[in-house]
Structure 1
Amino acid sequence: MPHPTAHPHYSLSASRPDFSPPEAATGRHTTLQGLASLPRPAADLVLLGDLTGRYAAGSYSRLAPDGRTVTLRGDRQGISEHGHRITAAIACHVARAGGSVDQLTRLLLHPDHEGGRHARHIALRSGQARALDYIHRVWASAVQTVSTSMVLGSRDHAYEVLAALRDRIETTPWCGERARTALRVLRAHLNFAETAGGPLHHASERQAAEEAGISRTTLRAVYETILRPQGWLRRLRVGHGREGSTWYLALGSPHRRVGTAVLSRSRTTQYPPGLALEEWSTSETGATADIDSAVLARLMGQDAFAHRALGSAALMIISALCARPSQTVTDLIASSSVSRATTYRTLQRLARHGLVQHHGETWTLTPHALPGIGHSPTASQTAAGLRAAQSLDEIAQQSGTAGTAARRKALHADQRAAYRQALEHLAEHRSRAVVIVHDGRQVLVPAVRADEISPAWHTPDGRVLDPATGRPAEGWRVATDGRLILIGPADQRTYDELAAAHAQALREWESAA
């Protein structure tokens, strides 16, 4: 339906919007009043549809079977995908404005609103009940998306959000080995988000595992047990082919302590059994932490910080000393969220490798422990006699973890190659073949599909020959691609008969629904 080119300006309102459907007597003016509380782009999307083609990207094209080129989708598939994206965008706008599913339904099913063409097409094709069910599913997804995301007005706003998330990560206590591993995964995704310029980013599980310096099995475990339940990370879409998964970074639950329900063995030092032994009944680590996550991000992929080498506890202590030098053991327990016993063991291990040193009760990084990362020492700290710091490669060599990252990357490369080859075989509909030996050479004979016949079994005009009698079989034809077609009595109906049968089936379906 054509629309006028002039549109009134729409103002933002903090009150609940009025999405009341216009009556026939009031006409289009009441419709515009119902859209007055929506932003101007949202109102234009409802009234005029996607004029700029913003939601058409990827709707009319798809990745070809070779994984390298893009092919066009069918017109019906492209239009349906495009209409669904417009409908989902309108649902998000209404949810963000404080509307309801009934108000969204009135907006989409109004005959003058171009943005609701997809929902009205479903109602016309499959019935009113099917269209309402579709709108409710889109609304549920929109409400979940709006409640766990925020509107980014500009690129600067996006970086402000990422900076706030980084501060939140650095001041959150990550207690326990699994929680510290979750921190490495979260910091890897933060690196991807900073590169993408916002909380929404794309990355595969193998990329995240290589960035965090852990295995894919460990990555999935911490994602399912810590990051996803506590709201730090959400996977919006699972990757396929050459496309990575779509992730969204959130701020996490502010009232939940990370790692309090990890494993019972962590209670030996952080949560003593009771007051009868005159021991503390609360956690040793404080309610807040203070680490430098940038240092952690630079070191977590090194072989020296693998599981059987220095480990994640050393990462936390080094990051805490980089953020605030000269800390006592008590300070390190609070700032790094590492238990007292683990802190003592880790400091002694780091001191043996020449990475940390202590003066009295305070601990600092050695002058040349981490080139380009550590803090400049004072004159008294550079006195002769201090043990020279070993390089991270030497530590990994002594610990037996040298080459772990390289082997992990090689394994992931082989897995990617095998996965892409399997996708190519699936796209080509390959089946098992027979290998025969002819003149000393192996000859590959592809297997014949059940719905494909030899050219000797049919006539040039497409009739199928009966193998027993050699005469054409009644009711069978051969398509242009060599597939068999069964022509039955029901296929001989005229267009009017098919239209009548469709209308009758539609009435029966709606009456049953």
Structure 2
Amino acid sequence: MPHHTHQADPSRRTFHPSERLGLHRLPPAAADLVLLGDLTGRYAAGSYSRLGSDGQTVVLREDRQGAAEHGHRITAAIACHVARAGGTVDELTRLLLHPDHEGGRHARHIALRSGQARALDYIRRVWASASTAVDSTRALGSRHEAYEVLAALRDRIETTPWRGERGRTALRVLRAHLNFAETAGGPLHHASERQTAEEAGVSRTTLRVVYETVLKPGGWLRRLRVGHGREGSTWYLADGNAPASLSRFRTTQYPPDPALEEWPTPETRAAADIDSTVISRLMGHDAFAHHGLGSSALMIIGALHARPAQTIGELVGSASVSRATAYRTLRRLADHGLVHHSGETWILAPRALEGFGTSLPDAVPAPTAPPAQGWDAVAQQYGTAGVAAQRKALHAAERSAYREALERLAEHRGKAMVIVRDGGQVLVPAPRPDEIPPAWHAPGGCVLDPVTGRPDAEWRVATDGRLILITPSDQRSYDELAAAHAEALSEWESAA
């Protein structure tokens, strides 16, 4: 028979994920994630693996925190890619449950361990979250486009009225997140609550209140993932298009508009005009703490820096403050020589942004406080000096305690039983087969080899005196190690 060219069976051809979807808009990186999994360790932050020093391989972490978290991140990333490409939940299910796709290992493991129904329910939940995230976010194609989005967001923040003390505090928190987003290069960024509170110059309690009552309902800020371990929360900055549903933001406790001779409404009131960059520079200082100059002074300074020589009526609109607050705040700033007025217009002092005021008796009669000599001096006069340092010290102590608790969890330390004897508590540790004599303990938590007397690098001692094996080749849990030790001891006794 004549020789003919061999043709492959079309039923055995390997399909690309984009072909399986029936779409050609799936990015190559997403297709590789589906087929090959997370080869670069991009989604392994905070999980059991990390990117090696060579930048190519994925190695196990010293402290394993669970493969499930890593697998869930890969699954969520694939779901977002499919949702952005216009796919469906059924197409995502076929991708994840295909036996040749490494990216669906986590979903297939759930199906194998808990059943097909549980895996399908998990995929539907991931798809719902991914669809919501894709619908409410914008895909940025370049770093330049990301900076354009952040610049537009900054302009919108500066022209939005932030009414009341809570609104002004929300501006400080939002401006802190904008600083983090500019550093990260896009609306998606990472920050902890403590880090944000220190940047904005507020307490964590105040930060949570304004997030839940102002920023989240208003569509300005959304927490995509709560921080865990040494990682901060994942946040996304939006444009604030969601309408405010709280009545406090539609209150009529505002001064009337002179031109309209009526109380302003959301349609007739003037837009704000502040320089939020100046506010972000000053808001973390002790002088602008709650019992100091406060957030209203930040708004007045930001408004006068954006547009000098404003009247009280103009500041009411540009700084989003009431007339009484404007008078009270300007009087405070004038006492320190930080602002001056000529007739009905107000301007900043030449070095007001550095906290240095000038005494002008003609412009500001009868000052009640000496001219300011820096923001530290202003904080001393109001008794708020050291507030930021105390807040940072408190946060450092909280981080230390939290990290110590994480280390205890990483060492798989078991809880000791507590009994009460003669009115006192007595700790009775549970008997475990892997407890070692105190003579085996070495400095640094290492274990001394009883034969050679040298520390064994593959073992570590927890503070409760039990062995923890730390090797890349054996990542069994604490209970698994204890069971293996007990089994080996039983076999040894049976053989003896």
TM-score normalised by L of structure 1: 0.69
Q: Name 1:508's counterpart in structure 2.
A: none
What's the offset of the Cα at 1:417? 2.4
Q: Name 1:44's counterpart in structure 2.
A: 31
Query: After superposition, where does 1:363-442 map in structure 2 within 5 Å?
Result: 363-371=346-354, 385=362, 389-390=371-372, 391-428=374-411, 429=413
1:298 has 2:276 as partner = no
Q: How many residues align?
A: 413
CA distance in 1, matches of 2:337, 2:435: 76
1:344 to 327, 330, 333: 327
Q: Note if contact 1:321-1:327 (Cα within 8 Å) is conserved in structure 2.
A: yes
CA distance in 2, matches of 1:363, 1:91: 55
What's the offset of the Cα at 1:225? 0.8
CA distance in 2, matches of 1:281, 1:384: 36
Q: Note if contact 1:296-1:319 (Cα within 8 Å) is conserved in structure 2.
A: yes
Offset from partner CA, 1:210-259 (integer Å, 9 cap, x none): 11111111111111111122221122222233322222222222x635x9
CA distance in 2, matches of 1:283, 1:341: 20
Offset from partner CA, 1:416-460 (integer Å, 9 cap, x none): 2233333334544265699xxxxxxxxxx973215569999xxxx
2:338 to 346, 355, 359: 355
Q: Note if contact 2:354-2:375 (Cα within 8 Å) is conserved in structure 1.
A: no
The one-letter amino acid paired with 1:323 is A
Q: Note if contact 1:123-1:129 (Cα within 8 Å) is conserved in structure 2.
A: yes
2:184 to 168, 172, 196: 196
Q: Name 1:316's counterpart in structure 2.
A: 299
Offset from partner CA, 1:88-119 (integer Å, 9 cap, x none): 22211221122221232234345665544544
2:248 to 258, 262, 268: 262
What's the offset of the Cα at 1:320? 0.4
Rg larger in 1 or in 2?
1
Offset from partner CA, 1:274-296 (integer Å, 9 cap, x none): x9xx8526369835211000100
1:139 to 123, 127, 147: 127
Residues 283, 302 of structure 1: alpha-carbon distance in 2 compared, 3 angstrom cutoff? same
CA distance in 2, matches of 1:345, 1:284: 27
- Counting aligned pairs with the same residue, the percent is 63
Q: Note if contact 2:173-2:196 (Cα within 8 Å) is conserved in structure 1.
A: yes
What's the offset of the Cα at 1:301? 1.1
Residues 318, 141 of structure 1: alpha-carbon distance in 2 compared, 3 angstrom cutoff? same
What's the offset of the Cα at 1:31? 7.5
What's the offset of the Cα at 1:324? 0.7
Uncovered stretches (5+) of structure 2, i.e. residues with no partner: 1-9, 52-59, 365-369, 419-425, 438-481, 492-496
What's the offset of the Cα at 1:60? 4.0
Query: After superposition, where does 1:56-135 map in structure 2 within 5 Å?
Result: 57-58=44-45, 59-61=47-49, 70-71=61-62, 73=64, 78=67, 81-110=69-98, 115-135=103-123
What's the offset of the Cα at 1:400? 1.8
Residues 193, 451 of structure 1: alpha-carbon distance in 2 compared, 3 angstrom cutoff? same
The one-letter amino acid paired with 1:268 is Q
Aligned alpha-carbon RMSD (Å): 4.1
Partner SS, residue 316 of structure 1: helix
Q: Note if contact 1:285-1:337 (Cα within 8 Å) is conserved in structure 2.
A: no
Residues 307, 84 of structure 1: alpha-carbon distance in 2 compared, 3 angstrom cutoff? closer
CA distance in 1, matches of 2:359, 2:332: 21
What's the offset of the Cα at 1:29? 9.4
Residues 49, 309 of structure 1: alpha-carbon distance in 2 compared, 3 angstrom cutoff? same
1:177 has 2:165 as partner = yes
Partner SS, residue 243 of structure 2: coil
Uncovered stretches (5+) of structure 1, i.e. residues with no partner: 1-22, 64-68, 375-380, 435-444, 457-477, 488-513
CA distance in 2, matches of 1:55, 1:485: 42
1:286 has 2:277 as partner = no
What's the offset of the Cα at 1:315? 0.6
Offset from partner CA, 1:150-169 (integer Å, 9 cap, x none): 21222222222221211111
